[in-house]
Amino acid sequence: MHQLSQPKNCRAPRGALHSRLTDSEPLQSHATAYFIPHTECTERRAVVPRAPLQLEEMSNIQASRVATLKHIKNLINCLVNIKDETGEFLMTLEDGRVIDTKGWNDWEWTHGIGLYGLLKLHEITGDADALRISLDWFRDRFENINTMSPLLTAAYLHEMKAANYLVHLDSWAEWVMHDLPRTDEGGFQHITYLVTNYQQLWDDTLMMTVLPLTKIGLVLDRPHYVEEAKRQFMLHIKYLQDLKTGLWFHGWTFDGHHHFGNARWGRGNCWVTASIPDFIELLKLPVEDGLRMFLTSSLVRQIDALVKCQDEATGLWHTILDDPTSYLEASATAGFAYGIMKSLRLRLIPREERYVKAAQKAIQGVLNNITPEGELLQVSFGTPVFDDVEDYKKIKLTSMPYGQSLALLALTEHLRTFV
């Protein structure tokens, strides 16, 4: 075991966690997944068959696996050592507190996504370093809780008996159920550090709050949490999925009943593509379950729309999905790759060539934007809901924890689905 050098432009801030990753860990074996068209998917066309693997193909798959694991280790190294060198992206609150949204040492939704990526890597490969980094992060930060997103990983760690987070899981879930401001019809109002976003639903909320509530409900055996999570998914689909295109609007407000700038924003959509398969998997919903059918139909409509607007040359998606004049964005692409591949593996969508091709092109697009040091490029900074869609194009590009983690999620799922 040896210490990885810190990547350029990702120098560790004082007190940062340094991952110790090894090149000599044994690879975990996983049965090759075989896919058939699912009965939920009524269309049957261009299904890609699975032929028996030849020796040369097996060798190529092993080489691809090794290369992917190397990228994953570099991504983790940059994730825990990333730093805002100039202070340009620090968030200053009204009470004087300063939140470092880029670094690994604060508590924000950005870090929650990073922790979730580490968790999924540990689940699939048994990577001990990913588990240790997560446990160390919670140990050092539970005294300064500010957001809900990291509690998704905390619930998994509690379930694994790797740590006892009962008090934190209980207090946060109870806050969501009883004290989180609600919109009309009981939706989770998307409050943030800086603004309350009165009467607003955002597509981000499904990943940031609804999934954590679901997992906590399962771990603590509180079915009313799970029922509330189901209702939130349906309510967000009702108001945020565009009936015309199948894509999702970034936000909806009951205070005026509109979608602000009508932006079909990339990363907001990717939270949906990722969270619906995760939610179905969490609840182990059977094929004949009505909610599963409803969620799957929504997911298929979105993925069908995504396939049509993927950039042919790069495999990436634009930050405004249906606006080719907006810049190409890699974190959303990684989220789409994760969600599409997981949907294939769970048979929520059939293994058709168009879906397989879109996922593989997206993975290649992500790989093409990872530097040798492990930094994912072409990542947009945190983005509020705008009244003018043009403002989305002005958001700056910078490396962020959620970019690193979405790439980590995508490559980890790639190992499980295709390699």
Q: Grade residue 142 by pLDDT with cuts at 50, 70 and 90.
A: low
Domain, as residue range, for 378: 57-417
Name the average pLDDT for the chain. 86
Cβ-in-10-Å burial (0-12, 13-18, 19+) of 255 comes to: exposed
* Tokens (6 digits) for 167: 């008090």
Residue 159 lies in a domain: yes
- Contact yes or no for 74/81 (Cβ under 8 A): no
Residue 398 lies in a domain: yes
Q: Grade residue 57 by pLDDT with cuts at 50, 70 and 90.
A: low
Other beta carbons less than 10 A from residue 229's beta carbon: 25
Residue 268 is predicted with a pLDDT of 98
Distance from chain centroid for Cα 383: 15
User: Does 49 score more than 80 pLDDT?
Assistant: no
Q: Grade residue 70 by pLDDT with cuts at 50, 70 and 90.
A: very high
- Contact yes or no for 315/329 (Cβ under 8 A): no
Rounded Cα distance between 97 and 91, Å, is 8
**Domains: count for the chain:** 1
Q: What element of type H or E holds 193?
A: none
User: Does 43 score more than 90 pLDDT?
Assistant: no
Residue 153 lies in a domain: yes
* Tokens (6 digits) for 55: 């020796």
Residue 320 lies in a domain: yes
* Per-residue pLDDT reduced to its tens digit, 90-135: 878 777 778 788 888 878 888 899 999 999 999 999 999 999 999 9
Higher-confidence position of 49 and 415: 415
For residues 378-391, average pLDDT = 97
Identity of the highest mean pLDDT range in 53-67, 100-114, 188-202, 399-413:
399-413
* Tokens (6 digits) for 416: 């499980």
Residue 21 lies in a domain: no
Q: Measured between alpha carbons, how far is residue 76 from residues 69, 85, 375, 381 in Å?
A: 11, 19, 9, 19
Query: Active-site residue numbers?
Result: 204
Residue 47 lies in a domain: no
Residue 335 is predicted with a pLDDT of 99
Residue 363 lies in a domain: yes
Nearest to 281 by CA among 255, 299, 266, 265: 299
- Sign for the pseudo-dihedral over CA of 29, 127, 218, 107: negative
Residue 139 is predicted with a pLDDT of 83
Residue 136 lies in a domain: yes
Q: For the chain, what is the radius of gyration of the CA atoms? A: 20
User: Does 229 score more than 70 pLDDT?
Assistant: yes
Q: Grade residue 195 by pLDDT with cuts at 50, 70 and 90.
A: confident
What phi and psi, each to the nearest 5 degrees, are found at residue 258?
Answer: -155, 170
Nearest to 2 by CA among 17, 19, 26: 19
State in Å, rounded, how far the first CA of the chain is from the last one: 25
* Per-residue pLDDT reduced to its tens digit, 279-292: 999 999 999 999 99
- Of all residues in the chain, the percent with pLDDT exceeding 70 is 85
Say which CATH number the domain at 343 has: 1.50.10.10
Q: Which amino acid is at 29?
A: S
Residue 253 is predicted with a pLDDT of 99
